[in-house]
Structure 1
């Protein structure tokens, strides 16, 4: 899914048409408000997160630079690739966008085939290689590209925070994480909830994992770790 944030209706529709013709799914947004609403739906697990965001700098209300800063500051979107669209000749905007973490830029007006080519190039650089696309222990498998979890071969619906907890544990088997560390890694760094939030999500995750849930061990006076069973 490619998100296109562009306030010009005709350009946005042409971008979405070209993406569809090139084999991509796309969603279009005319301003920051529409984008944030869509991302909230994605972060709740109701719809997939975007694979990439095409982001115009000149937007009504909140501009693209501000949007980019917020995307990079949020744990859920920090790694989503962003291609900035800048007005021709505005080198300052291009440099500022790249400095803030944009993955590429396109100077307007740009050709639709050039856009598709840049998207494919950024996705090749940013997405895991085939060997890195899956994590697994026992009968639990995470597909990082599809953002799916299967347990003993059966797909399991998993809320975003539980998915991120499981992914973190599976990327770091045997490592103990304090509740504070989990709050800062999985929730926003300025999240004001109590550590009880972590305990509730861990309990739910264990239940969702069924027989494999016992692999998530409580580390007394510290937090939690994943104890991967030996073959």
Structure 2
């Protein structure tokens, strides 16, 4: 299957992408991983991306599209892939369509993870990380530490990242609504969108997603 995963920040796209890709035996292709890999390997596209990022500028669509195209041509993606973070806007979605048509391929589904805006803010703004190890993650509501402000694992101080503040989260949501959400309508016109609720436990959402994708295949 060839799937695009969309949803607002805080919808759990990265977590669901990993589970879905494993269940479907297809590679999970995320924009973040593409950027990191190309920059660390010093590819031409990676160097271009780094020059924009170092200057505090947005990486142009053509650079992101080039990275995605290169990754989708790897042998492990011949029978399908799950795209996470790409396409990010309508122009990238149009470019993806051109790429797929050139390879006599098509998307099977666009999985839209739906989460109420207030829940997104609650999920992200409530997150706390350990200063000693940022892999020790807690949440003031869902997974609170035994002692407020103290990491259960190593006793380090817990803190809120600057980009996890409510103000920043709401700005990120505005960007999502303006730039990325329009691709849902773009793909709805092609009859590809399957919308599911991303509320609940991780395995519940994964089960919901798999059932929705099976329905998409049957259709």
Name the TM-score, length of structure 1 as normaliser: 0.35
Name the TM-score, length of structure 2 as normaliser: 0.36
Indicate the structure with greater helix content.
Answer: 2
Higher relative contact order (CA 8 A, sep 6+): 2
Indicate the structure with greater strand content.
Answer: 1
